[in-house]
Amino acid sequence: MKRITGTLAMLLVAGGAFAQAKDCDELKAEIEQKIRNNGVAVFTLEVVDKDAPGDGKVVGTCGGGTRKIIYRRGEAPAPAPAPAPGNGG
């Protein structure tokens, strides 16, 4: 019985470490889908270092705990910069 309990405890610890090391882009995509499914259309998610100051809400951690995902509601993502006009020739 002790052997089974010990094995289960080791599996739980290993499973927690695996979940914590999730890829940041993958986790960000999952969180983004959940937010959209809740009817929120305009928001931003940003992956930053865990120690970076942020004015949004932390909605996830990734990279083995080295990064965090910040959520800000009501802010559209910054548009891509327009291409520079060509020389015309």
37-81 residue pLDDT tens = 999 999 999 999 999 987 899 999 999 999 999 999 986 655 556
Rounded to 5 degrees, φ, ψ at 18 are: -65, -45
Q: Is pLDDT larger for residue 46 or for residue 87?
A: 46
Q: What is the pLDDT of residue 7?
A: 45
pLDDT in tens, 15-37: 445 555 679 999 999 999 999 99
Query: What is the rounded distance in angstroms from the CA atom of residue 31 to the CA atom of residue 37?
Result: 10
Q: Is the pLDDT of residue 5 over 50?
A: no
Q: Which two tokens stand for residue 45?
A: 């998610």
Q: Is the pLDDT of residue 1 over 70?
A: no
- Intra-chain end-to-end CA distance of the chain, in Å: 81
